[in-house]
Amino acid sequence: MEIKPVPEHVTIRDVAREAGVGVGTVSRVLNERVYVSAGTRERVLTAMRRLDFRPHAQARRILRRRSGMVCFLMSNRAFMHSFHAHVLQGVENCASALKQHVIYASMHYGPSTPAGRIPIPLILQERGWVDGLILTGLVYGNFLKRIQDLHIPFVALGNNVVASRDVGDYDLVAFDEYKGANEATEYLVSLGHRRIFFVGDVSYPWFNQRYRGYLAAMRAAKLSPAGMTSKEDHGFPEYGEYAVSRLLGLKPLPTAILAGNDDVAYGVWRALTRRGSSVPENVSLVGFDDREEARLMDPPLTTVRVHKEQVGEALMKLLLEKLHRPGPPYTKRILSTELVRRESVRAL
């Protein structure tokens, strides 16, 4: 058997010669085009392995007219908020399966910053580095306008967008906060609770949606809504603690509290515990998001689960769809939530 020498610098022409095919066929195999027979594809791949051929990434991008790279861009959030870390994990899992690459970037800006003056990450300042964006974090309308002006395809995690109508339509994935909070409130009502309070700063769009779901369930049960919803300069756990200091002065006291998220619920739980009130003996407590810490509370927290990795997967899939079919019609995908019953709630 004749042993052929391996060229010192292997090119696509060397692979074509080794496999006995044309350069175009090798290119189609590299770019994973479907119109290459299985036998020919295997012959080309065998030649690549024998020659230790490593494709030039930039050349492949030029041929595809795409970089194969998307940017997970988080606005106005600390690196890395645990909720968004799970969403990013879902994006990465989906991207790996589809042979895409994900890079992470973050930025901070205010809602009143003129769109043209919002500083954007370096990776977005030159065309061609990324194919599209996944927008997460607290996203204001001025930034949506900035991205639209750059003509970079994007999808947004819709729950965290604060935008006026003049921004126009765009592609988004969201989870159903309204229904999640509605079902949680109905669950408390079904257990005999009548004085159910909501705790959460409704100036945040996600808390606002959850509050609306709570209101609808309370009104359907002919109950009076109440709670703490004002804007306060506190972190979420501190907001929960502050709310308890205000709510405990009310008569009659609530028998159950629906917190805007698990962080707020933790603050409520901590404040009640320090004041000698027991969960759920004195007050039943429900959170939202189902963070890891919810299971570690004592008692474990009843909460509304957001399937965060599924949200990330849906964002990635929708972005790839829009890269193939950009522009209108715009897509809005709403994912369901799940009420997780644990020991922080009791029947009256």
Shortest CA distance to 227 belongs to which of 209, 203, 201, 206? 201
Task: Say how far apart CA 291 and CA 141 lie, in whole Å.
Answer: 28
User: Exposed (0-12), middle (13-18) or buried (19+): which is 251, by Cβ within 10 Å?
Assistant: exposed
CA 152, 132, 157: angle at the middle one, nearest 5?
A: 100
What is the per-residue pLDDT across 116-161, written as a single tens digit (0 to 9) for each?
Answer: 888 888 777 766 678 889 999 889 989 988 888 888 889 999 998 8
- Please list the residue range(s) of the chain that carry CATH number 3.40.50.2300: 69-174+309-334, 177-306
Please tell us whether the domain made up of 12-64 is placed in CATH 3.40.190.10. Answer: no
What is the per-residue pLDDT across 4-42, written as a single tens digit (0 to 9) for each?
Answer: 544 456 777 888 888 888 877 877 776 665 577 888 888
Task: Say how far apart CA 113 and CA 144 lie, in whole Å.
Answer: 12
What is the per-residue pLDDT across 67-103, written as a single tens digit (0 to 9) for each?
Answer: 678 899 998 887 667 888 899 999 999 988 888 889 8
Q: Which of 4-13, 210-219, 333-342 has the lowest mean pLDDT?
A: 4-13
303, β-bridge pairs: 287, 340
Which pLDDT belongs to residue 87?
Answer: 93
Which pLDDT belongs to residue 56?
Answer: 53
Assess contact for 44 and 26: CB atoms under 8 A: yes
82, β-bridge pairs: none
pLDDT, average across residues 323-338: 88
137, β-bridge pairs: 75
- How many CB atoms sit inside 10 A of residue 167's CB? 16
Q: How far is CA 236 from CA 130, 181, 211, 263, 306, in A?
A: 34, 17, 15, 6, 18
pTM here? 0.77
**In the predicted structure, residue 269 carries a pLDDT above the cut 90:** yes
Which pLDDT belongs to residue 219?
Answer: 97
69-174+309-334 fold = Rossmann fold (3.40.50)
Task: Say how far apart CA 102 and CA 93 lie, in whole Å.
Answer: 10
Mean pLDDT score across all residues of the chain: 86
Which pLDDT belongs to residue 80?
Answer: 66
- Supply 341's token pair: 């019953």
- Supply 322's token pair: 């829009």
Assess contact for 318 and 173: CB atoms under 8 A: yes
- Please list the residue range(s) of the chain that carry CATH number 1.10.260.40: 12-64
pLDDT band per the 50, 70, 90 thresholds, residue 249 = confident
**In the predicted structure, residue 165 carries a pLDDT above the cut 70:** no
What is the per-residue pLDDT across 170-190, written as a single tens digit (0 to 9) for each?
Answer: 899 999 999 999 999 999 999
pLDDT band per the 50, 70, 90 thresholds, residue 59 = very low
CATH of domain 177-306: 3.40.50.2300
